[in-house]
Structure 1
Amino acid sequence: MAWSTREVAELAGTSLRAVRHYHDIGLLETPERRANGYKQYGVAHLVRVLRIKRLTELGFSLAQIADMDRDDDHPQEALRALDAELGSTIERLGRVRAELSAVLRDHPPTDLPAESTPAEAGLSGTDRSCVVVLAKLLGPRGRRACADLLRDLPDLPDQDQAVPAKPHPR
């Protein structure tokens, strides 16, 4: 069997441009040319394009595919590494979805950290900015420790309320 570049691309379900790109980056050997100058692809070329397409659909980059041994039908190490990476991504996306769900449900300001209390949403802009910065600097554990300390403090007057000035000693 012999196919043109366009036919190989169509059979593999990819684009003509992709097949040419695989040649350019060394993923696909350039086939012999017919007398008319057109490339003549064989079964091995089609199988290689199909493999490249399959591996990219699984999540491998073209650079990762280039690093794989062409003759290795089952690249264990690369598959395990990709599986671990995908597992981490799924966990991270699960945390993001849970946080989004809480934001959609509770309507807190989006600048506050996920573990914020409803009281923090009602803080003044300055105080809220302080909470945001401290949350970033301290992290969740440090922020909880700080919140525990602040919980035991007596109530202080609001910033917006005037505090009577003490007479200055002369």
Structure 2
Amino acid sequence: MPASFMPPRQVRIGDAAAFAGCTPRAIRHYHEIGLLPEPERGGDDRRRYGYEDMIRLLWIRRMADAGIALEDIREAFAEDPADAQGGDGIEAVLESVEGSLAAQEAELRRQRTAVQRMRVEGSRRGLLSDLVTDRLKGLSEGSLRQADLDTLLVTERIFGPLGAAVQATRFVALATHPALREEADRIDAAEEALDDSVAVDDPRVAQVAAERRAFESALHAVIEESGLDEDDDALFEAWETSHLETGDGGENESGSGRVMTVLEATGKMPYDFSPARLRCMELAEGLSVLTEDEGGGNPRLPT
């Protein structure tokens, strides 16, 4: 150091920030939350920072760069502020940060795996759970519609992976039977036409309900003939076995957000159904129960 140079005894906030590698705004924030004590002010009423202030500021910056939250830094300093070795408070914080970083690394690995699955499976299909994605394997590109994937996403959120995997059977059948898909589109359009302008006792409501019931019976017949129902049975058995071993009920295990009951989840998903359409759904469900009680057959779709 040249003999003619004399370092300042105190510096202003701009110089302190430049030396510490932060901004004056950050330093003011440290003051506001009690992390850095307010220094004395000069004759111009501006803050002046001395050697001890700068030492504390440097430690704050070094700990913040290591990923330690400002609140934890404040608690560590408050626990033993005079300990030149850093104190047990800082050691405990470092241990906590190390555990947090390990958890972040695990989460990054999970996210990387999810992205890789999405790239392999294609589009949004790869964002569904493994159980659902495996059920859809073998379908040609484009055979699933966006609406199909949307429905599976909602079902997985409400009923969990098993419920969505079973429902995927429906879309497998539709994707591999064009006539079935065409009839499904026709009935979907008829149900959508039951808007708010249609009265609940309109004859069209009962007619569409009967058509929906006939379609569902035909769809079920196709699923049975193709052996997809046996795959569903195997899926249930494997699921029950794995969850008996872990002691986990598995309700609503969507992997996104907290676990909700089916009733709670259903009540939080909005559907803009008219009273006529809701009545149609009720009638179709009633016809389904009646058909099962009477042991009726499965009507086929017109060719």
CA shift in 2, pair 1:33/1:164, >3 Å: closer
- Deviation (angstroms), 1:134: 3.2
User: Equivalent residues in 2 for 1:1-170 (5 A)?
Assistant: 1-69=9-77, 70-72=81-83, 73=86, 75-107=90-122, 109-110=125-126, 112-120=128-136, 125=148, 128=152, 132=156, 133-135=158-160, 147-149=235-237, 163-164=298-299
Corresponding letter in the other structure for 1:22: Y
SS in structure 1 of the partner of residue 119 of structure 2: helix
Corresponding letter in the other structure for 2:93: A
- Deviation (angstroms), 1:79: 0.5
Q: Take 2:21 and 2:161, find their aligned partners in 1: how far apart are those partners?
A: 47
CA deviation digits over 1:104-140, x for unaligned, max 9? Answer: 12215155213434443657839835862433588xx
CA deviation digits over 1:50-84, x for unaligned, max 9? Answer: 11111111111111111113334152111011101
CA shift in 2, pair 1:164/1:35, >3 Å: closer
CA shift in 2, pair 1:145/1:120, >3 Å: same
Q: Take 2:68 and 2:233, find their aligned partners in 1: how far apart are those partners?
A: 42
Q: Take 1:78 and 1:145, find their aligned partners in 2: how far apart are those partners?
A: 51
Larger relative contact order (CA 8 Å, sep ≥ 6) = 2
Comparing 45-54 and 108-117, the one that deviates more: 108-117
- Deviation (angstroms), 1:85: 1.1
- Deviation (angstroms), 1:148: 4.9
Comparing 6-15 and 32-41, the one that deviates more: 32-41
Q: Take 1:135 and 1:83, find their aligned partners in 2: how far apart are those partners?
A: 33
- Deviation (angstroms), 1:28: 1.1
RMSD across aligned positions (CA)? 3.2
TM normalised by structure 1 equals: 0.72
* Higher relative helix content: 2
CA shift in 2, pair 1:36/1:119, >3 Å: closer
Rg comparison, structure with higher value:
2
Q: Which structure 1 residue ranges, 5 or more long, are not aligned? A: 139-143, 151-162, 166-170
CA shift in 2, pair 1:18/1:127, >3 Å: closer
Corresponding letter in the other structure for 1:63: E
Contact preservation (8 Å) 1:99, 1:114 = no
Corresponding letter in the other structure for 1:101: Q
Q: Percent identity?
A: 24
